[in-house]
Amino acid sequence: MTNVKIEAVLFDWGGTLATWHDIDLRETWRAVAAVLDEAQADELAARLVAAEGSIWRRSRDEHLSSTLEEVCTLAEIVMSPAAQEEYDRQWDPHTELEPDAIDTLRELRARGLKVGVLSNTIWPRQRHEEIFVRDGVHELLDGAVYTSEIAHTKPHPEAFLAAMRAVGVSEPSRCLFVGDRLFDDVWGAQNVGMRAVHLPHSAIPTEQIGHTEGTPDATIQRLSELPALIDSWN
């Protein structure tokens, strides 16, 4: 194990800081489509599911980012304010924090560590920040990068380097990345010289599993295990 001191801890969001939930994407999109046009809800939902699937395959294979607006454009759908409200309502139950997330973040900051988030997401920054404010997370973050705002998704090196810069650290070896995916999170972080901790909580959809699986520097079962692990390295 390298003796370089860790200065920043960067987290994945969904499935890491936020509790993983299996999601029926078709039912979620159908509820949104029904607001737009109940008579054509099944057809609209099918188009939206196909469009979202295509952008996540592109993320997996080409590491290119996307937005919710692009999904709608690909599906040839205009999201009304009421439909957007329903979309957010459908996803709200899936944005809940892991029970020990807040205490873990506070412990890390008490140790003088920078804390950040790097999320593969199609949602805008505003949506994530609303969730973080709601849950008391926003004030505990030194920086956050949402791939909806940049060109690339994890595991592309630029996504990790952007997150590192967002928390004010200049050397990847001084960063630790924590995530639930062996490709996007572990392999991606190690590929730029960061250490990586795996939190194996999520049932990764088969179509999102990448071509490579990383070997984590450590594996934890709860976020609360992280501060002691970092102490053992620092």
**Amino acid 3: pLDDT:** 75
Q: Which two tokens stand for residue 232?
A: 């053992």
Q: What percent of the chain has pLDDT over 70?
A: 94
Is the per-residue pLDDT at 202 higher than 90? Answer: no
Cis peptide before 155 (omega within 30 of 0): yes
- 105 and 201: one domain? yes
Q: In CATH, what number is assigned to the domain containing residue 168?
A: 3.40.50.1000
State which residues form the domain around 134.
Answer: 8-19+96-233
Q: CB–CB of 68/122 below 8 Å?
A: yes
**Amino acid 201: pLDDT:** 76
Measured CA angle at 25 (ends 24, 27), to 5 deg: 70
- 85 and 151: one domain? no
The reply to whether 1 falls in a domain is no
The reply to whether 77 falls in a domain is yes
Which letter does DSSP use for residue 218 in this model?
Answer: E
The reply to whether 2 falls in a domain is no
**Amino acid 21: pLDDT:** 76
Cα–Cα distance measured from residue 115 to residue 207, given in angstroms and rounded to the nearest whole number:
30
Cα–Cα distance measured from residue 16 to residue 102, given in angstroms and rounded to the nearest whole number:
12
- 183 and 198: one domain? yes
The reply to whether 195 falls in a domain is yes
Top-confidence residue, 212 or 111: 111
* DSSP SS3 for 112: coil
The reply to whether 3 falls in a domain is no
- 83 and 100: one domain? no
**Amino acid 1: pLDDT:** 46
For the entire predicted model, the pTM comes to 0.92
Spacing of C-alpha 46 from chain mean position: 25
How many other C-beta atoms lie within 10 A of the C-beta of residue 60? 20
Q: Which two tokens stand for residue 119?
A: 């999320």
Cα–Cα distance measured from residue 113 to residue 68, given in angstroms and rounded to the nearest whole number:
33
- 125 and 172: one domain? yes
Domain boundary among 93, 113, 146: 93
Cα–Cα distance measured from residue 177 to residue 194, given in angstroms and rounded to the nearest whole number:
7
List all residues 6 or more positions away from 5 whose beta carbon is below 8 Å from its beta carbon.
174, 234
Q: How many domains does the chain have?
A: 2
Cα–Cα distance measured from residue 188 to residue 153, given in angstroms and rounded to the nearest whole number:
10
- 58 and 76: one domain? yes
Average confidence (pLDDT) over 44-60: 95
The reply to whether 141 falls in a domain is yes
Q: What does the radius of gyration of the chain's CA atoms come to, in whole angstroms?
A: 18
